[in-house]
Amino acid sequence: MGTALVYHEDMTAARLLWDDPECEIECPERLTTALERLQQRGLEQRCLQLAAREASEAELGLVHSPEYVALVRGTQALGTGELQTLSGQYDAVYFHPSTFHCARLAVGAALQLVDAVLAGAVRNGLALVRPPGHHSQRAAANGFCVFNNVAIAAKHAQRQHGLHRILIVDWDVHHGQGIQYIFEDDPSVLYFSWHRYEHGRFWPYLRESDADAVGQGPGLGFTVNLPWNQVGMGNADYVAAFLHVLLPVAFEFNPELVLVSAGFDSAIGDPEGQMQATPECFAHLTQLLQVLAGGRVCAVLEGGYHLESLSQSVCMMVQALLGDPAPPLLGPMVPHGSALESIQSVRVAQGPHWMSLQQQGVAPVLSPSPHSPEGRPSSLLLTGRPEFKAAATQDVAALSSLLDQPRLNPTPPVRTAVALAAPDAALALPSDVLCEEGSAPQEETQAWARPHEALAQDRALTALGKVLYLLDRILDGQVSSGIAVTPACAAAATLDVAIRCGLSHGAQRLLCLAVGQLDRPPDLTDDGRNLWLNIGGKEAAALSMFHVSVPLPGLPA
Ligand code: Q9C
Ligand code: ZN
């Protein structure tokens, strides 16, 4: 399962024919330079190369009005003066006699990519196109965009492939207001955009680009805007936005396809964006998206005006699509205060619509943890969601009845099964993680770390039964993920059984990730079928390449 690269040389034909400093940055070299770099690095050759086709007028009609399509068709026959006059009727747009052809190729490229991915010919891909699309509206060109490539691709995926949930990730530095308008009342398309906003003082100066624009009617919560109010946002800010806004919402949405409005004017050096993210960041963002929708990621170029930064960023994205490891992100990875404020404002605005965002900044809802002096919740997952709380005190029977609840469209109520052995989840969390700096009362610590033997055995067996039940449901495809709590003293034994059970019940390869120390290392086969990662474990040495332990400074040895 490979990566498609969709392109057509004809898309370099359109260019600015008069003097306009605002529009001159959208030039043919954007495509030629990026493509040359892909060839130089041997990346183009590793892709399935597809020649873009023109979209039909019926396909353009999925989003645009017939009158607008006719108007753009008419520009083919206009002289330079007439083109300039027409261009002046739109905001930041230029037309060229080849614009109609190029713009139809750009849409066609996006459609071919979606078709290739949904037919299973490739896992993912990139359409290298111009003109870009995300500012274009039903009956208007805007911001260099003529037809809305990604919006049409989403409609096409719904009509021709019967998809019900599509995620659009718009990491271009500008707000794709065109996409937002087209899907604002549509819960089947989740639109996420971050963008330079500066409290409304940056183009396109729209009130509806702010975090409190969350969609309308049935589409409430399916527009997610993350406005950057300062320039200079970098790798840490972008990764934080993914980890704390996009990915929680996207997991809950559970898309069947991810479309990326892949603008690279959000990268360092770009004159429009004035941001600081390095090209490597886009490899990481691409990797993070590939955990969604079975890896079906279709990226379509939007902006990106610094030729060197654009080309490097495109290469990084294609490398990640091909499955190459992402280069490490350099720098301290500390988000800006302004970025955290933005992230917080989106989480507050979207909180009513997404369970996965509801546990933050709401101290009264979280049961205060007796183990952490800062009041930091010991387990966000277990305290935030009402159905998790309900499940916590019940047994396997109640768990399965939860799983049997009718699934709401588009978001299933339970995609994660929870099985807790102890009446209080916190009781069973590893004591050496919770009791840092002796902050917990001594006698309670001892009660958790060394419970009465008979009780411990009983709890451990109950916990093991639930873990195995979860594993079975996951392996037979009924449950996507699960959480189980086991007494700390039984963790290694539970893992032993779970790993063996997983491997003998159909798992080909198993990743086991442990945070903190176990009472003993698990008993592992070393045949490459399980990879053991222990963060905060005892020794730094790798016992084998499949057994990796990474101690953390500050954790008790
Ligand atoms: N200095 C895309 O990136 N000019 N379009 C804004 C602010 C318009 C950008 C002027 C920028 C359009 C696809
Ligand atoms: Zn842009």
Across residues 511-527, what is the average pLDDT?
79
- Res 267: pLDDT: 98
Main-chain phi, psi angles of 278, to 5 degrees: -85, 160
To the question of pTM greater than 0.75 for the whole model, the response is yes
CA atoms of 411 and 220, how far apart (whole Å): 13
Cβ of residue 144 lying under 6 Å from some atom of ligand 1: yes
Residues 315-348 pLDDT 10s: 999 999 999 999 999 888 999 999 999 999 999 9
Question: How is residue 233 written in tokens?
Answer: 């946002």
CA atoms of 278 and 306, how far apart (whole Å): 12
Question: How is residue 242 written in tokens?
Answer: 């993914």
Kindly report the length of the chain. Answer: 557
CA atoms of 1 and 321, how far apart (whole Å): 11
Across residues 261-290, what is the average pLDDT?
98
The residue whose CA is least distant from atom 2 of ligand 1 is 303
Which atom, in ligand 1's list, is nearest to the CA of 263? 3
Higher pLDDT, 383 or 531: 531
Pocket test residue of 23, 135, 272 for ligand 1, highest count of atoms within 8 A of CB: 272
Which atom, in ligand 1's list, is nearest to the CA of 91? 8
Exposed, middle or buried, 278 (CB in 10 Å: 0-12/13-18/19+)? buried
- Res 514: pLDDT: 84
Across residues 405-412, what is the average pLDDT?
32
Tell me which range, 193-197, 407-411, 494-498, 523-527, is most confidently predicted by mean pLDDT: 193-197
Cβ of residue 203 lying under 6 Å from some atom of ligand 1: yes
- Res 462: pLDDT: 82
Query: Packing angle between helix 396-403 and helix 453-475, nearest 10 degrees?
Result: 20
Is the model's pLDDT at 402 over the cut of 60? no
Question: How is residue 194 written in tokens?
Answer: 């971050």
The residue whose CA is least distant from atom 3 of ligand 1 is 303
The residue whose CA is least distant from atom 7 of ligand 1 is 203
Give the range among 111-115, 175-179, 286-290, 461-465 with minimum mean pLDDT. 461-465
User: What spacing in Å lies between the alpha carbon of 82 and ligand 1's midpoint?
Assistant: 23
Q: Nearest to residue 425, comparing CAs of 357, 483, 355, 498? A: 483
Q: Which amino acid is at 40?
A: Q
Q: Name the maximum alpha-carbon separation found in the chain.
A: 90
Domain map (residue ranges) of the chain: 3-326+352-363, 414-550
Q: Nearest to residue 306, comparing CAs of 278, 336, 335? A: 278
CA atoms of 365 and 384, how far apart (whole Å): 7
Q: Which residue has the tokens 């449950």?
A: 479
Across residues 228-242, what is the average pLDDT?
98
The residue whose CA is least distant from atom 11 of ligand 1 is 143
Cβ of residue 270 lying under 6 Å from some atom of ligand 1: no
How much of the chain exceeds pLDDT 90, in percent? 63
Across residues 243-258, what is the average pLDDT?
98
The answer to whether the CB of 15 falls within 8 A of the CB of 28 is yes
Which atom, in ligand 1's list, is nearest to the CA of 265? 3
Cβ of residue 273 lying under 6 Å from some atom of ligand 1: no
- Res 299: pLDDT: 99
Of all helices (H) and strands (E), which one includes residue 342?
Answer: helix 337-350
Residues 167-182 pLDDT 10s: 999 999 999 999 999 9
- Res 434: pLDDT: 33
Residues 206-218 pLDDT 10s: 999 999 999 999 9
Question: How is residue 425 written in tokens?
Answer: 């989840």
Higher pLDDT, 414 or 177: 177
Question: How is residue 390 written in tokens?
Answer: 């309900």
Question: How is residue 9 written in tokens?
Answer: 């040389």
- Binned at pLDDT 50, 70 and 90, residue 129 comes out as very high
* Burial readout 479-507 (b: 16 or more C-beta within 10 A, e: otherwise): beebbbbbbbbbbbbbbbbbbbbbbeeeb
Is the model's pLDDT at 351 over the cut of 50? yes
The answer to whether the CB of 165 falls within 8 A of the CB of 157 is no
- Binned at pLDDT 50, 70 and 90, residue 373 comes out as very low
Is 96 among the catalytic positions? no
* Catalytic position from the list 134, 135, 175, 284: 135
Is the model's pLDDT at 125 over the cut of 90? yes
HSE value, Cβ hemisphere, 13 Å, CA-based, for 190: 27
The answer to whether the CB of 120 falls within 8 A of the CB of 161 is no
- Res 29: pLDDT: 98
- Res 541: pLDDT: 61
- Res 452: pLDDT: 61
Give the distance from CA 446 to its chain's centroid. Answer: 42
- Res 555: pLDDT: 63
Note if the bond before 131 is cis, omega within 30 degrees.
Answer: yes
Q: Which residues contact 119 (CB under 8 A, 6 or more apart)?
A: none
Q: Options 3.40.1170.60, 3.40.430.10, 3.40.800.20, 2.40.30.10; which CATH number does 3-326+352-363 get? A: 3.40.800.20
Residue 235 neighbours by CB distance under 10 Å: 22
Give the range among 26-30, 206-210, 358-362 with minimum mean pLDDT. 358-362
